[in-house]
Amino acid sequence: MQLAHNAVVLVADGRKMLFLRNEGDGEYPNLIVEHAREQDNPKDGDQKTDAAGGSSSTQGGGQFAPSRGSMAETDFHQLEEDRFAADAADLLKRRALANEFEQLIVIAPPRTLGELRKHYHKEVSSRLAGELDKDLTGHPVPDIEKAIQAA
């Protein structure tokens, strides 16, 4: 994947994001960290206080027996990861509307990438040069450069 000079690379997962700018060129990228953010997101069990609730229904008169359903359990950890991805997409939108970049590459795990796509603004989509569905948030910058070159 070609990475133009001055292009922006977003490397994100559900709790970390890195904005990098290419100070090099397409052949020899030199990514410099512009902005980094990490959000604390405890595991789901640490965020819950109770088990999922239940519901019952007796509507329908005598012809239907009362039914008991259970409410699906909410995964608070995943909700926070999705919210973080939406926030990252909003930051991309604000930066695109401020003309802070011409070309964008997004690197994220598949689930985060899917959530980001739901929230892309048309200005972000028009500047998107590529996406990589990999989790590289914990990797050093040279590994990120190599992954982009290999894609």
Mean pLDDT by 10 residues, the chain (151 residues): 93 92 91 87 52 50 54 70 89 96 96 93 96 94 94 89
Q: How far is CA 58 from CA 61, 63, 68, 71, in A?
A: 7, 10, 9, 16
Q: What pLDDT was estimated at residue 21?
A: 97
Q: What is the pLDDT of residue 123?
A: 96
Supply the pLDDT for residue 124.
Answer: 96
Whole-number pLDDT of residue 24: 93
